A and B are shown apart, each in its own frame.
Chain A
């Protein structure tokens, strides 16, 4: 027999033939277990991500089976590796092309802070150009760390209220990056 684990149902009211809960929770569960990541891999962290996607670590166990190499269909932008300043407008363009709701994960020291590349040609963390939801430390992080970051993204997705993206706070955040 296969040992398939299903996601627990959210808290709600249950009775004979019906189950009632809030839409936020259902949508959160659905989204978090079918995230489509866009891997933006530029260096060694990208190699770790390849291991994360491969059979041993198998990121698809968490519902991220389908990588999207088109930003239009992606939910999660995973930035893995050093982003040179010349690459920054490209990264920003990819982020702008993603549809809401969208999440961003900075994997590794370079994407998070510039890492060892404290130099004129390297972007000192992708949060200089786009907002970031989860940072994964490490140089490069092990696949376990990337999975841990992914689970943290899932938690954010699950607990996000449906109106978050319309709130002034979120609009302010985007405006800070000159988006919209």
Chain B
């Protein structure tokens, strides 16, 4: 099957979700849409199960932090339709104090570790996740290191102190 054109893909999504899913752009031809957490699972399920689309492969779940935005934390889903070789990116933005989103493990089992990683680095709580704990960082870490308010550097580093350089 041939690749689905972005306009057609967008039209099919709009038929089902109307104004709930908005187009953000098409950087490098990759259709990017934004939606809310209320219909994210419905949207993922639709994209996966629809006979014409069949986005059966969840490439990645990740997040991004824009401290200057009102909705600071963005959760990003990458899907791939292996039968048509079409890709799509879905973004959901959440306010800082309320970073809850329903888990996608109900749609893809493989979302388990991706969501653990996203929790580990951004502190996104995936409601309904079977085992939401840190996956890469040490268990006793209190920070969510990819958020901008946490410094990248380790505070225990001594050999970069200013007085070693006469500052």
Please list the residues of chain A having a beta carbon within 8 angstroms of any beta carbon in chain B: 85-86, 113-114, 118-122, 124, 128
Contacts and interface: CB of A to CB of B under 8 A. Distances in A.
B156 A119 contact: no
B159 interface: yes
Given A85-B138, A86-B137, A86-B138, A118 B143 contact: no
B138 A114 contact: no
Contacts of A124: 154, 156-158
Interface string B127-167: 00000000011100101010000111110111110000000
Q: How large is the interface on B (under 10, 10 to 19, 20 to 34, 35 or more residues)?
A: 10 to 19
Contacts of A113: 157-159
Given A85-B138, A86-B137, A119 B152 contact: yes
B154 A118 contact: yes
A173 B153 CA distance: 28
Contacts of B159: 113
A133 to B, nearest CB: 19
Contacts of B141: 120
Q: Most chain-B CB neighbours within 10 Å: which of A86, A120, A121, A124?
A: A120
Contacts of B157: 113-114, 118, 124
Contacts of A122: 154
Contacts of A86: 136-138
Contacts of B154: 114, 118-120, 122, 124
24 contacts: A85-B137, A85-B138, A86-B136, A113-B159, A114-B154, A114-B157, A118-B152, A118-B153, A118-B157, A119-B152, A119-B154, A120-B141, A120-B143, A120-B145, A120-B151, A120-B153, A120-B154, A121-B136, A121-B137, A121-B145, A122-B154, A124-B154, A124-B157, A128-B156
A122 B151 CA distance: 14
Given A114-B154, A114-B157, 12 more contacts: A118-B153, A119-B152, A120-B141, A120-B143, A120-B150, A120-B151, A120-B152, A122-B154, A124-B154, A124-B156, A124-B157, A124-B158
A120 B160 CA distance: 15
Interface string B2-31: 000000000000000000000000000000
Contacts of A118: 152-154, 157, 160
Interface string B56-100: 000000000000000000000000000000000000000000000
Nearest to A87: B138
A113 B138 CA distance: 19
A81 to B, nearest CB: 17
B158 to A, nearest CB: 8
A118 B158 CA distance: 10
A59 to B, nearest CB: 28
A86 B152 CA distance: 17
